[in-house]
Structure 1
Amino acid sequence: MNSIKVPYTMEISSLQNPRVKQWTGLLDKKGRDKEGHFLIEGLHLVQEALRSDIQPYTVVYSAERERPSEELRALLVLAAEQRIECVGVSESVLAKCTDTQTPQPVFAVMPKLPWKPEHVLKASASGGLVVVIDGVQDPGNLGTIIRSADAVGASGVLLGKGTVDLYNPKTVRSTMGSLFHLPIAQGVLTEWLPQAADTGVGIVTTSLQGAVSCYDYDFRGPTWIVIGNEGQGVSEEVRALTGQHVLIPMQGRAESLNAAMAATVILFEAMRQRQSR
């Protein structure tokens, strides 16, 4: 194999290698929960991780491609400079350990994010904006919501019971690296929503029967926006803890927007109001 010469490099070509089996196990939630690790795939995500405060344990790259890109070379040099292990592997190993149909030239093994609900609550204390997820099931929707939250400068994201796994490979890819940019925690919503309300946070959720247009609601104070399941919406137990229901006015014939689109519309309206105050 034609190796990219960087420090701390070894090569693995066998699919039976114990490390390959360990990495492959991280494609499943059970394996991720057991190890406390997850995988990120592709140049962009690994670059974002290397720039973040949450460093990869290992960067794994293809050592068989004849002409690795300058971008990949630079990434490996950066990882080596940070004393992160870089492992060259065969294409067959790369394909075995990744979730995409066409394997990316690099993936990394990451520790799960360290954030707890109290970090999200603290981050929202001074007028913050938090997205609360109540049972969103589609990994692409969750990833897009996190990306939108990052785009508007939200303080954090809180994931409730029944929500798709944050570390699902499709969710991770959909965030486009935004999961490294803001606190994202998992918690019991019936416990944390009342705590947030007690600190003066406005708890808002979307509803087709909402009494207030999202363009009329005042998002300039500390606000937690609850986004519910794609089919069932916000659960009854969580809805009972929200202070205001808002709707997104629509002029066409569509009955509703999907969870990610609705969250994005409301988040950008909140950002617009906050920028104009």
Structure 2
Amino acid sequence: MRSLKLEGYIESAANPKAKAWAKLLERKHREREGKFLLEGVHLVKEALDAGWPLEAVAFDEGSDALEKFGTYIETSGNGEGPRWYPVSPEVIAKCSETGTPQPIFAVALKRPPSAEALFGAGDRGLVVALDGVQDPGNVGTIVRSAAASGATAVVLGKGTVDLYNPKTIRATMGALFHVPVLEADLQDLLPEAAARGASVVGTSLQAARSCYDYDFRRNVWLVFGNEGAGMSEAVSAFAHANVIIPMTGRAESLNVAMAATVLLFEAQRQRMA
């Protein structure tokens, strides 16, 4: 391991760098700067493992956080990796929205894929499209399930919570580094997907067709709607088919993240058969 050159210690939360980092807790600043925050040892390691561009890593100098990165650290300031900053607990707290902040966070650069990346898998494409899903935990869980089941991409349509919201980031558990995630207008993308041969499939409690009777081995876009209202009329108009997840017990419906997970792993099962 090369020796680590640390940047200067940042003690005050009023330090210009600390103030700039803390602003990334707000969406308008994330969008303006093209950056977002990753909090905690796991997320920072996942980003480093994936080769995701990190601008800076800040750690509580009084913690043992740095010791967990012995095999990850590169010489700071040589253009090969992020700059590493020892900081005070005050700075850590300012850059976290959790009640008990993690002792380390990173400033990451946004690296959204192009729309064209959605179509690279051809007839083996499996894309998840979210229409107005507003809960960060649901979106993060769906990204995790998409990465785990071999989906080729996730599209966050209008009205869907910001991918780079700290709560969404935490819920992905680092999966956003392993599956392309794109924010786009589904009313533009779904017709293009259909024109390229994709089948657009929605879910509905009124659907007659079981998800287990649908052929997911083709190029498929799975569309999931808002937690309370489902798919919007404008987006549902593009669906070629709607399926239902059969339930033999008593429950009104499944949480959208659970429903997405069921369908994604059914698609994986069929594709592995």
Task: Give the TM-score band, short-chain normalised.
Answer: over 0.9
Partner of 1:169: 166
What secondary structure sits across from 1:246 in the alignment?
Answer: strand
Contact 2:145 2:261 in 1 (8 A): yes
Contact 1:203 1:225 in 2 (8 A): yes
What secondary structure sits across from 2:271 in the alignment?
Answer: helix
Specify every segment of 5 or more residues in structure 2 that has no aligned partner in the other structure, as ranges.
Answer: none
CA RMSD across the alignment = 1.5
Superposition deviation, residue 84 in structure 1? 1.7
Partner of 1:85: 83
Q: Assess, with a 3 A threshold, how the Cα gap between structure 1 residues 79 and 125 changes in structure 2: closer, same or farther.
A: farther
Contact 1:56 1:108 in 2 (8 A): yes
Deviations 1:217-264 (A, max 9, x none): 000001000010000000001100010000000011101001100000
> Percent same amino acid at aligned positions?
52
Superposition deviation, residue 83 in structure 1? 3.1
Contact 1:134 1:160 in 2 (8 A): yes
Alpha-carbon distance between aligned partners in 1 of 2:134 and 2:75, rounded to the nearest angstrom: 34
Superposition deviation, residue 74 in structure 1? 4.1
Partner of 2:98: 100
**Of 154, 162, 165, which residue of structure 1 is paired with 2:151?**
154
The amino acid that maps onto 1:130 is V
Alpha-carbon distance between aligned partners in 2 of 1:253 and 1:146, rounded to the nearest angstrom: 27
TM-score (norm: length of structure 1): 0.93
Partner of 1:185: 182
Superposition deviation, residue 7 in structure 1? 1.4
**Of 31, 38, 42, which residue of structure 2 is paired with 1:44?**
42
Q: Assess, with a 3 A threshold, how the Cα gap between structure 1 residues 68 and 191 changes in structure 2: closer, same or farther.
A: closer
The amino acid that maps onto 1:111 is L
The amino acid that maps onto 1:136 is V
Superposition deviation, residue 124 in structure 1? 3.5
What secondary structure sits across from 1:172 in the alignment?
Answer: helix
How many residue pairs get aligned? The number is 269
Alpha-carbon distance between aligned partners in 1 of 2:164 and 2:157, rounded to the nearest angstrom: 14
Q: Assess, with a 3 A threshold, how the Cα gap between structure 1 residues 13 and 73 changes in structure 2: closer, same or farther.
A: farther
Alpha-carbon distance between aligned partners in 1 of 2:49 and 2:67, rounded to the nearest angstrom: 18
Deviations 1:47-67 (A, max 9, x none): 1111223210111111122x4
Alpha-carbon distance between aligned partners in 2 of 1:125 and 1:25, rounded to the nearest angstrom: 40
The amino acid that maps onto 1:113 is R
Partner of 2:16: 18
TM-score (norm: length of structure 2): 0.94
Alpha-carbon distance between aligned partners in 2 of 1:69 and 1:155, rounded to the nearest angstrom: 34
What secondary structure sits across from 2:57 in the alignment?
Answer: strand
The amino acid that maps onto 1:254 is A
What secondary structure sits across from 1:11 in the alignment?
Answer: coil
